[in-house]
Amino acid sequence: MQRTRFHFAAPLGLMLAASPLFAGTLYVDANLTTGANDGSTWANAYQGSSGLQAALAAAVSGDQIFAAQGTYFASATNSRTQSFAMRNGVEIYGGFAGGESAVYQRPPIGTAPSILSGDLAGNDGSGIRTDNSYHLITTTSTNATAVIDGFTVTGGNANAGSNNDRGGGILILGSVQPTIRNCTFVDNRCTFGGGAGYINGAAPTFTDCTFDSNLGGSYGGAFDIAGAGAVKFDRCRFVNNSAARAGALEIFSTSGARVTNSLFANNTATGASGGGGMWVGSGGSSQIRNCTFVSNNSPAQAAGAGLRNQGASVTVSNAIFWNNTGPGGTQTSTNQVNGATVTYSIVQGGLAGLGNLSADPLFVDAPGGNYELLPSSPATDAGDNTLVPTEQFLDIRHKHRFEDNANVADTGFGMAPITDMGAYEFTTGLGAYYCESGANSTGYKARIHVAGSLTASDNDLTLSGETLPPNQFLIFLGGTAPGLVPNPGGSSGDLCLGGAIGRFNALSQILNTGAGGTASLTIDLLGLPTPMGPTAVHAGETWYFQAWFRDNVIGFPTSNFTDAVAVSFE
């Protein structure tokens, strides 16, 4: 498929601007053995397992680092104290196959893994970890412009004294606010707290991360958070982690922590204080929204195998607590959640609170680890819209929040469509969403919806625009890659397509949003418009769709865009 970016000048204000310029890009390839080893291109990338450290040493604020698949070590001399240090203004990206020129051209996360490994001596397979890195990632004096994205972090072993007994994967100390996205922390450990990470006095943001099979010693199998600020976890998975207290996540004496759209499954607190999925306590305040706690364990403590609060202010809404198990296999409401204020949530065994339910949430395949909701689930359209953070517009799979389920009556609070309980929103829509739109002249964010079949040979796909300004022109767009052009041609929105971009602008395809602010178009997969002419969609391809529309956001006519969706065909 053609992958060249197509810049098109169009009527209706669709004039593209140039992509933002960065200070520079440094390339790293652990498997490369030829070239200049100076990071200037993929062919001359910094080489070997120490290549990423070389790039970090050379980077300046404004740089991006692109790391190809392969394994990277923090130390070339087996020094356990060395780590990968995040820096302000430096964005570190992993997961490249090699050859890409932009972040959005990476293959799907996980298919070309860039691994930060603490196994300095290569002997983890023999069960020897006493020579591993104490921490894989550290972050000092950083703000949100310090970014790490797209890495697997594994093999950290914080088993010494002082701060080297916590945060095997990442250590975050002081008044810092780093950004961590699309990372998997697996098989890290410590003796004090936070197998995957330890946070003290800081306010990092974790988005689309997985924390799997980490051992947290005394506190927090995945994370131990103490005396911190507005820590945020959104669309994260906490699975198979273990510690004495707080099998997955401990929040100790911390105000402003927020966990949204996240899954806690099969985590275990082995000690008497419990909190199989999460333990919160010793003052402070935390918010839990649209999360699923399922099959977590607390064999030595009956209270809160899913979530236990001991002395903090914890509010929980739009959540599901199911099959969390206390001593002797008990699964009462006390075993599910204890000590928190819970509303508009499903709690096994029943729990007093506005909008709470006790019915089986009807997961698609709980034994198989699929906690999506069946069409008849009582959790659908049963949450509280007012308690969904305004910026949290996607569920854990990048599906839209606020999707109506025609199979059930609305039982939640707010104007339809109403959010579901749990980390997964029930939807019949296809694709994964990205590139959030801003509010248009209606006050709502315009959305694109995809229905039909993912089987390319079925030739059955319909694009719809929703929450649009009424009686305005709309054109659907398609591209062969994601992209980002902010405010092209003075638009109020962003164009989020790249590669070969085409417009569905035949006379019959230029639509009007009508009085209801909606528009739909069934497209022909045998001939999608591209600059090279009509192109057929084939199995295995991913196409990207968005809609452009007329708007009146700031008092005079302008244009705008919906969010964008990636559709992978079979």
Which tokens belong to 239?
Answer: 């699975």
Residue 57 has pLDDT above 60, yes or no: yes
Residues 407 and 285 both lie in one domain: yes
Q: Decide which of 379, 408, 428 is a domain's last residue.
A: 428
Distance CA 495, CA 477 (A): 10
pLDDT at res. 20? 34
pLDDT at res. 557? 86
Any domain includes 255:
no
Any domain includes 117:
yes
pLDDT at res. 393? 86
Residues 151 and 26 both lie in one domain: yes
Residue 69 has pLDDT above 80, yes or no: yes
- Mean pLDDT over the full length of the chain: 94
pLDDT at res. 104? 86
Any domain includes 7:
no
- CA-to-CA separations, 115 to 34, 48, 183, in angstroms, rounded: 21, 12, 10
Residues 452 and 315 both lie in one domain: no
Distance CA 13, CA 10 (A): 6
Distance CA 295, CA 305 (A): 9
Residues 367 and 467 both lie in one domain: no
Q: Which residue has the higher pLDDT, 548 or 17?
A: 548
pLDDT digits (tens, 9 = 90+) for 513-529: 999 999 999 999 999 99
Residues 297 and 423 both lie in one domain: yes
Which tokens belong to 217?
Answer: 């010693």
Residues 405 and 282 both lie in one domain: yes
Q: What is the mean pLDDT of residues 57-77?
A: 97
Distance CA 260, CA 254 (A): 17
pLDDT digits (tens, 9 = 90+) for 125-158: 999 999 999 999 999 999 999 999 999 999 999 9
Of 177-191, 286-300, 310-324, 380-394, the poorest mean pLDDT is in 380-394
pLDDT digits (tens, 9 = 90+) for 528-551: 999 999 999 999 999 999 999 999
Distance CA 451, CA 470 (A): 22
Which tokens belong to 79?
Answer: 């020094």
Kind plus residue range of the DSSP H or E element containing 52: helix 51-58
Residues 472 and 421 both lie in one domain: no
Residue 15 has pLDDT above 80, yes or no: no
pLDDT digits (tens, 9 = 90+) for 465-492: 999 999 999 999 999 999 999 999 989 9
pLDDT digits (tens, 9 = 90+) for 271-328: 999 999 999 999 999 999 999 999 999 999 999 999 999 999 999 999 999 999 999 9
Give the model's confidence band at 554: pLDDT under 50 very low, under 70 low, under 90 confident, else very high. Answer: low
Number of folded domains in the chain?
Answer: 3
Residues 58 and 191 both lie in one domain: yes
pTM over 0.75: yes
- CA-to-CA separations, 534 to 391, 443, 450, 451, 504, in angstroms, rounded: 37, 36, 20, 21, 11
Give the model's confidence band at 23: pLDDT under 50 very low, under 70 low, under 90 confident, else very high. Answer: low
Range of the domain at 313: 268-428
Residues 355 and 409 both lie in one domain: yes
For residue 489, what is the domain's CATH number? 2.60.40.10
pLDDT digits (tens, 9 = 90+) for 351-371: 999 999 999 999 999 999 999
Residues 387 and 449 both lie in one domain: no
Residue 2 has pLDDT above 70, yes or no: no
Beta strand extents in 301-394 (DSSP E only):
307-310, 313-317, 320-322, 337-338, 341-343, 346-347, 363-365, 370-373
- CA-to-CA separations, 392 to 261, 385, 389, in angstroms, rounded: 8, 11, 5
Residue 423 has pLDDT above 70, yes or no: yes
Residues 358 and 423 both lie in one domain: yes
Any domain includes 13:
no
Q: Decide which of 201, 217, 233 is a domain's last residue.
A: 217
Q: Identify the three-state secondary structure at position 261.
A: coil
